Structure 1
Amino acid sequence: MGDWLVVVEADTSDWPASEVELLDRIVELVADARSAHEQAKAALHDLAERLLDLMRRRVPPEEIPVRLRSTAQGVVSQVDTWPRCQFVVAGGTWQEGRPIPAPALRVLLEEALIQEDGPVRVTPQDIASTTDADQAVLLALTPEHSLDVPTLQRKLASTLTHWLAPTDTVSIGVSSPVAEPGNAQRALDEARTALRVAHDGPERVTVRGPDDLTHHILSLLPLIPAETRQAFATRLLGPLRDHDTRHRTDLLTTLATFLACNASWTTCAAQLHLHVNSLRHRITRIEQLTGRDLSQLETKLDFLAALNST
């Protein structure tokens, strides 16, 4: 998988020397084309690898765009702002449950994500990728559009199944769009959580996204006794209700809006008619009162469950 082949339906041992030489020249041209293709992708791979490394080292969000300027992609593109993107994380199994090698899976996903036409156009220059253990990690650099999970499910299922044996499976998690570096870690965690949800899918190729996380959590709530749900909501949201009552604030409304906006600072601030700094102050206060970190995906899902249990 992920290799380039030249296949000739003939017995070349019977060919005259001139025709064998012509075939050799064709193979050389294909090799040159592959080399040019890989050189063009090298800068994008460097971008993905550096970004993943910055997040592993917990570099402050405001420093990330500055650090990315020194990547090959940053130098070539002369872009010094954060590239709006979505994370796509994939893992797979084949041959008695062994993981599909992440480099091969990365190449397959790069090719399968390309969509030259349609509502969301994705070109080879829009995909940066790297690997992390057994996972392929891709960045879809689509500043004007967002990847549509149902469309991806149909396209990737029809494309990847041609490469898979009957018992092989590929699971894919997609994040919300990331418009600013402060949300990069959140988006990567979101994609990886969606990947875990995708592992439970019945299809050979399963794609899950942010909406599926919400549906997954909410679908589990009816299985929990009402008293338990209510006690959980009271314990988690009680400090916010008490603060709103005593100080006439709107922390609960702020929290609900923040989660409804997929934790996007700019979108939430605009919806609440607040400056982003005012919104950050409110979120910090929510974290102080509840003792929870809203940069963590698990915290967001807990709050979402609590808000839907009241």
Structure 2
Amino acid sequence: MDDRERAEQPETGYRYTQAQIDRRLTKHMQDAAISQGLRVADAWSDWLCITEMTLRMTPVHAKSVFEHGTLAQDPPEIAAEWARIKARYGDGFQHLEAAYGDLLHCIQPIAGIEPEIRDVLGPLHMAIGNANIKLGQFFTPWELSLVAAQSTMEGAATLVYQRMEQAIRSNPMLAMMTPQTDGWINDDNARSIAESLLPIVWERYDTVTIYDPSCGSGGMLLAAAAILPRWMVVMGLVAFYGQDLSRDCTRMTQINMMLFGLNGWGLRFTTAMAHLRESPLAKRFREEVPPTAPEPMIASVSVCPTDTMYPDIEIGAQGALFNLH
């Protein structure tokens, strides 16, 4: 770590500042591009593809390891894209792998402190110089995204409480046990009610949706999630949707959603880790390796040639910011 990095102070819950993350990952992209005489923009696009599908397939592979002791087989289109990118870079592929590992290292919790939600990839996209300035592509700074979310999302939590009340009243038994007046769910009791009563009527809960028709790196969606109670986001009481003309942008948004557990990904990854800990491979590892050694981290790299395979982030026209339905 140089003097410049020592002078920088990371944001709450993070190991590195955004500038430090930008420098670390940019170096990997440059090395990958130079190894094959490619543009840095090409390496960045390929890395986004790899990173998105690695995160997306991790729960699938974890379940397969738990049930069968082996990784799952990737769908044909994913396997084909994986082979294409690996063949394109040869030995230089190690730089893309290193960038993925660095990304996870940079945002992982410190001493149990959960990092604040923020857009990590948007500033990196701009730092690498991959934004199309000629077409007016510019990602809103994180601080401004928070201001926009705070002004636009006023009343979002209250809307969640109202829909919780509606779902609970739809059950005759619960309706007799709870107040009949509106507004009885509030900031003080909402979480305990969501954890105790809402699972009983979950299929009747009308999820609050937030939509960004020009999502970019997902910064506005992340800002919306950041100002909501974290438990509300993790439990899936609010869902986040977006679209963009750029494939790189949709992938950045997907990655950001998964990294911070939005749209149910936090629960998926928690389940995946539970599967890995109880898998035959992990049990054999604990039996054969001294207790002081760390448990193995099982990962795979998978990619997909299209963003429209998954409906939560699609390519489409640009438009306004938030819509609460």
Compute the TM-score of the two structures, normalised by the length of structure 1: 0.25
Compute the TM-score of the two structures, normalised by the length of structure 2: 0.24
